């Protein structure tokens, strides 16, 4: 059974070499029930958030995978829009949702000032980061908050229909705002790392472990919506800027972004791609990026491409990616219509372990 029989420090060192493409995979993360999103119309207390995080970590101690236990600091995708003054809407069971502040007048972007890293919910993220570190006496690493990419943030600031029109009618205004957002992203990530103090700061909000200096993770959901020409013009320069600043970039995107695989090949310092294998066909990603960067499939909505069980999904990945060296596989049904709650029965975990045991020539062997 190929379960990582490694200490925590050995896992970290292995994963660092893996991101540098000095070790083979597959490495894998097995999901567990996530802590609930915010409930009600206000932010929960920091004490409540931290207790939920600690409970989440305790609940997955029996799972044998490449997870590095760390405290998450997610406050939802509205954190950067809130810093620009976007109103927030609170709904039961969801993170705060931001409303746009730019509508049919693209010149409004020139009246926006660059926020401080403490404005809006950004300040709450920093405060919670420091609180979590102090309250746990530095026992756990801290994960970077959910970082939307520059273009995704601009999209959230803009009413969606008018945003897409502006890509054609007011590209200079879009680029002006993209530059401001990119600068703010860089400043904020450095500020959050500073608030983590001497504790290890993991620049990824997803389950992956990425050591500092090996890149940064961003969510790029517009990757699935834009044509290659538009994505190349409005996303690529700003992803390159983040990659240059942080030693590489790891991109997450929902949806099917097959049309932009060639553009991803142009991202400087691309470390890897996380995608739903039930939306973006695994075969297409392997054909374009296999062996070049880390490929990290997860079980997406299970709608366009369907699997009846988790093991069927894993055997599909094995069949297509058997000889791909750099796979970081997520066994996670968080947003899937598959209907599994990830309260794994022992026999289910054994089945998952058995798939990876049958993979062969992995983990440096």
DSSP state of 232: H
Same domain, 200 and 81: yes
- Per-residue pLDDT band at 14 (split at 50, 70, 90): very high
Same domain, 43 and 138: yes
Does residue 228 lie within any of the structural domains?
no
> 99, 80, 79: which is closest to 89 by C-alpha?
99
pLDDT tens digits, residue range 220-231?
A: 999 999 999 999
Q: Average pLDDT, whole number, for the chain?
A: 93
What ranges in the chain are assigned the alpha helix state H? Answer: 8-19, 46-59, 79-83, 120-135, 150-157, 160-169, 171-195, 228-234, 236-246, 261-264, 282-289, 310-321, 346-357
Question: Can you give the pLDDT at residue 362?
Answer: 46
Same domain, 188 and 211: no
The pTM of this model reads 0.96
Same domain, 196 and 244: no
Question: Can you give the pLDDT at residue 95?
Answer: 85
Q: Which domain holds residue 15?
A: 1-31+207-220+240-252+259-365
> 248, 247, 246, 219: which is closest to 235 by C-alpha?
219
Does residue 353 lie within any of the structural domains?
yes
- Per-residue pLDDT band at 360 (split at 50, 70, 90): low
- Per-residue pLDDT band at 43 (split at 50, 70, 90): confident
Does residue 234 lie within any of the structural domains?
no
Same domain, 213 and 101: no
**Token pair belonging to 352:** 């998952």
Alpha carbon distance 350, 333 (integer Å): 17
Alpha carbon distance 226, 252 (integer Å): 15
Q: What is the CATH number of the domain that holds 187?
A: 3.20.20.210
Question: Residue range 265-275: average pLDDT?
Answer: 98
Question: Can you give the pLDDT at residue 37?
Answer: 59
Same domain, 196 and 48: yes
Question: Residue range 76-96: average pLDDT?
Answer: 91
Same domain, 135 and 248: no
- Per-residue pLDDT band at 44 (split at 50, 70, 90): confident
Q: Phi first, then psi: what are they for 98, rounded to 5°?
A: -95, 150
Alpha carbon distance 94, 239 (integer Å): 28
Does residue 90 lie within any of the structural domains?
yes
Does residue 174 lie within any of the structural domains?
yes
Does residue 363 lie within any of the structural domains?
yes
Same domain, 73 and 173: yes
Judged by average pLDDT, the poorest of 26-35, 198-207, 276-285 is: 26-35
Same domain, 1 and 101: no
Same domain, 282 and 350: yes
**How do strand 27-30 and strand 328-331 relate by DSSP bridges?**
parallel
Name, in order, each residue with C-beta under 8 angstroms of 261's C-beta and a sequence gap of 6 or more: 284, 285, 288, 289
Question: Can you give the pLDDT at residue 41?
Answer: 65
Same domain, 25 and 81: no
- Number of domains composing the chain: 2
Does residue 348 lie within any of the structural domains?
yes
pLDDT over 70 at 253, yes or no: yes
Does residue 186 lie within any of the structural domains?
yes
Same domain, 9 and 49: no
């Amino acid at each position: 059974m190929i379960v990582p029989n490694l200490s925590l420090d050995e896992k970290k060192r292995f994963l660092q070499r893996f991101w540098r493409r000095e070790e083979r995979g597959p490495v894998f993360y097995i999901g567990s029930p996530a802590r609930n999103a915010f409930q009600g119309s206000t932010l929960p207390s920091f004490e409540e958030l931290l207790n939920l995080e600690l409970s989440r970590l305790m609940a997955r101690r029996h799972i044998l995978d490449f997870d590095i236990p760390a405290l998450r600091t997610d406050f939802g995708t509205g954190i950067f829009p809130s810093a620009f003054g976007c109103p927030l809407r609170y709904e039961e069971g969801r993170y705060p949702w931001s409303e746009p502040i730019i509508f049919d007048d693209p010149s409004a972007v020139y009246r926006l000032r660059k926020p401080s890293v403490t404005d809006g919910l950004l300040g709450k993220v920093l405060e919670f980061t420091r609180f979590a570190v102090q309250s746990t006496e530095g026992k756990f690493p801290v994960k970077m908050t959910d970082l939307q990419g520059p273009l995704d943030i601009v999209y959230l600031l803009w009413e969606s229909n008018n945003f897409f029109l502006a890509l054609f009618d007011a590209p200079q205004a879009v680029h002006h705002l993209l530059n401001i957002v990119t600068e703010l992203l860089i400043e904020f990530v450095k500020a959050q790392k500073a608030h983590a103090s001497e504790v290890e700061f993991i620049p990824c909000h997803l389950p992956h472990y990425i050591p500092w200096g090996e890149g940064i993770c961003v969510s790029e959901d517009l990757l699935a919506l834009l044509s290659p020409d538009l994505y190349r013009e409005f996303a690529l320069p700003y992803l390159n800027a983040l990659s240059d600043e942080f030693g590489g970039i790891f991109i997450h995107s929902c949806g099917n972004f097959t049309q932009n695989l060639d553009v991803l090949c142009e991202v400087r310092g691309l470390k890897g791609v996380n995608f739903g294998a039930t939306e973006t066909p695994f075969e297409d990603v392997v054909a374009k990026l296999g062996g070049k960067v880390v490929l990290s499939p997860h079980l997406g909505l299970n709608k366009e491409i369907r699997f009846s069980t988790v093991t069927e999904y894993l055997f599909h990945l094995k069949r297509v990616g058997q000889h791909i060296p750099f796979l970081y596989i997520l066994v996670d049904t968080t947003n899937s219509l598959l209907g599994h709650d990830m309260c794994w029965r022992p026999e289910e975990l054994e089945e998952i372990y058995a798939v990876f045991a049958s993979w062969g020539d992995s983990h440096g062997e």
